[in-house]
Structure 1
Amino acid sequence: MADTSKVINSSDIAPNRNRGGEIRVTLSQRTVGATSGFGGSLRLEPGDYVSEHYHPYSEEFVHVIQGDLELRVEGEPFPLGPDDSFLVPIGQRHRLANVGDSTAHVIFHLSPLAPRPDLGHVDTEPLPSAGDR
């Protein structure tokens, strides 16, 4: 089990760019031994997006630090800006896009954990290719 008493800086975590943007999971079972959920940060450049997906076991807490975003939940658009927060319920399809002209920064947390990591995320649209970003 990982040491739970330590500071994790996002720059120490390799970014995941598979679903769009730059996702860094800083607090997780792997990094600090978390048992109830995981979280981290997301950076999206103008025009970038995180492809539509849902979490069958987890709700997702989204908090915008900077930027102008559009969050679509079950197809319904919700504009988000600095200091806005949003709760995506369990099982709801969602997609996040940077609709502004500057880098967006988002903090997220998902809880509870899925029974296995491979069950935690279901993609519902093709993943962005390098040419789309």
Structure 2
Amino acid sequence: MSQANRATVEKVPFSDVPANRRRGGEIRIGLSPRTVGSVSGFMGTVTLEPGDYVSEHYHPYSEEFLYLVRGNLVVTVDGVDIDLAPDEAVMVPIGARHRLVNHGSETALAVLHLSPLAPEPRLGHVDTEPQPNADEPTLHVGGSD
């Protein structure tokens, strides 16, 4: 493969990525079209303190893969509660409404990945309940939003 055809590999320290708290918790999207030029999806983390939640939403074009690193979470998908413990994962299908809640006593940390990307960043996420921090800026992952 020629040098011109190789993708640039970039390391992204998540501590350098601004946290977004608009939908609840602390979401950091580290690998995305905006940060590394990805074309098939994006990856980030969500941190929820005890009692925190991410408000219900759905993705009309993307599956969401969620892997719990530490803590405990309840992931509600289309009204069904799924308890996640560390080293467990769940895939949320395209169009499924979902919400995350930390009912535990310790901070929960999960890794998330969404794929494929929506045709436009503004079409990637649909909120279905009020956001706890609606005054925060919208979370942008695309290059042209």
TM-score scaled by structure 2? 0.86
Q: 1:36 maps to what in 2?
A: 40
Q: Map 1:64-79 to 2 at 5 A.
A: 64-79=68-83
Query: The residue matched to 2:104 in structure 1 has which SS?
Result: coil
Letter aligned with residue 79 of structure 1: D
Report if the CA contact (8 A) 2:21-2:133 is conserved.
Answer: no
1:60 equivalent in alignment to 2:64: yes
1:87 equivalent in alignment to 2:81: no
Query: The residue matched to 1:60 in structure 2 has which SS?
Result: strand
Q: Runs of 5+ in structure 1 lacking a partner? A: none
Letter aligned with residue 40 of structure 2: S
Q: What is the distance in 2 between the residues matched to 1:9 and 1:79?
A: 29
Q: What is the distance in 2 between the residues matched to 1:50 and 1:96?
A: 5
Q: What is the distance in 1 between the residues matched to 2:50 and 2:116?
A: 31
Letter aligned with residue 86 of structure 2: P
Q: Which has the higher strand share?
A: 1
Structure ID, larger Rg: 2
Displaced runs of 4+ in structure 1, greater than 3 A? none
Residue-by-residue CA offset, 1:23-49 (whole Å, 9 max, x unaligned): 000000011100000011110000000
Q: How many residues align?
A: 128
TM-score scaled by structure 1? 0.94
Q: Map 1:1-133 to 2 at 5 A.
A: 4-129=8-133
